[in-house]
Structure 1
Amino acid sequence: MNNRDLINFMTMIEKLKCQTRHSWTSSGRQESVAEHSWRVAVMALIVAENFPRIDLTKLLKMCLLHDLGEAVTGDIPVFEKTEQNQVTEKEAIKFILSSLPDKMARDFQDLFDEMEEMTTEEAQLMKALDKLEVLLSHNEALIETWIPKEYSLNLVHGDQYVEYSDYLSGLREEIRQDTIQKLKSANKI
């Protein structure tokens, strides 16, 4: 990749720092897509020791790239995302990847295909961590940033993505207990 193409690509994905998510930080501001992806990758680094068969490099690539399309589409909360939104995001990913050298674009597209198929342990772990990070973010944010449907959603969100692993199920349960405590403290349950 030549320098100009690298600069152009980095300028395109810089929008991930500008696109805000539905989640809020503990300081009371909306988080960016880039912050979310970074924290999913850090979680992957930390929990990887519990998954000795995974390819850590592949997992980290997935974590860092999984929301790449949102540089174009912006973040759409899971409870608002439609099939058309998913199609639009896939098109955005292809558009962004088209600015990369052919082999790199194919390799990255293969990662996106693998994440969509969810047949590898890396893809399953990335999806679970993606969901768990969202829950952590919500628990860290002020309850005033939650919308009413999140009071119940945060108790079940991501459950199906952690079931395959005792470790992840235990982590999910610990996060659920924090959610319950937060909701009780705010008299929301």
Structure 2
Amino acid sequence: MDAREYLEILHVAERLKDTPRHCTTTKRRTESVAEHSWRISLMAFLLRHEFKDIDINKVVDMCLIHDLGECFTGDIPTFVKTDSDREVEDSLLNQWVKTLPAELSEDLAALYKEMDAQETKEAKLYKSLDKLEALIQHNESPLDTWSENEFELNKTYAFDTVAFSSWLTELREAILEDTMKKIEGDNKNWELLR
């Protein structure tokens, strides 16, 4: 890949910095898709000693690229995203990936195929972190920024996704504990973050 091709890839990826997500930050700012991708990548990196049988570098790669399709479609919250939305996003992403230098295109295509199949431990860990980060962000955001359906969704979301791992199940239960405290009005800890 030459320098110009490299820059063009970065220019497309930069769109994620300006692509808003459904969640807000602790200080009420709408977060970007890039911020979400960064944090799930950090979450994966921090687990390298907890999941010694998993290729954490591959999980970090998955986390970094998982929302690149939103460069073309924007973010659609999971609870309103349709199969048609997913097809459009996947199609546009695949078209773009095919235009990239051959080795990079092959690397990305292989990762996306593994991520979609959800058969490897790496793919399952990436998907779990993607969902858990959204829950953590909701717990960090002011309660009045939640949409009505999130009060119930934050109690149930992702338990099935993390079921393959006792460590992730424990993390999900800790997130639920924080959710319940937040909903029940124990906002002391969250106020300290502001």
Following TM superposition, by how much is the alpha carbon of 1:57 offset from its aligned partner in structure 2, in angstroms?
1.6
| Cα distance in structure 2, aligned partners of 1:96 and 1:40 | 23
Segments of 5+ residues of structure 2 without an aligned counterpart are 187-194
Deviations 1:81-113 (A, max 9, x none): 100111011112113313321121111111011
| Cα distance in structure 2, aligned partners of 1:27 and 1:99 | 39
- Which residue of structure 2 lines up, in the alignment, with residue 62 of structure 1? 62
Q: TM-score, normalised by structure 2?
A: 0.93
| Cα distance in structure 2, aligned partners of 1:13 and 1:96 | 11
For this pair of structures, how many residues does the alignment match? 187
Deviations 1:25-83 (A, max 9, x none): 11111100000000000000112211111112211110000001001111110110100
The alignment's C-alpha RMSD in Å is 1.3
- Which residue of structure 2 lines up, in the alignment, with residue 111 of structure 1? 111
Q: TM-score, normalised by structure 1?
A: 0.96
Deviations 1:164-184 (A, max 9, x none): 111000000000000000001
Residues 13-162 of structure 1: matches in 2 within 5 Å?
13-162=13-162
SS of the counterpart of 1:48? coil
Structure 1 stretches of 4+ moved >4 Å: none
| Cα distance in structure 2, aligned partners of 1:126 and 1:169 | 14
> Is the contact made by 2:23 and 2:138 (CA closer than 8 Å) also made in structure 1?
yes
Decide which moves more: 12-21 or 88-97: 88-97
Segments of 5+ residues of structure 1 without an aligned counterpart are none
Following TM superposition, by how much is the alpha carbon of 1:149 offset from its aligned partner in structure 2, in angstroms?
0.5
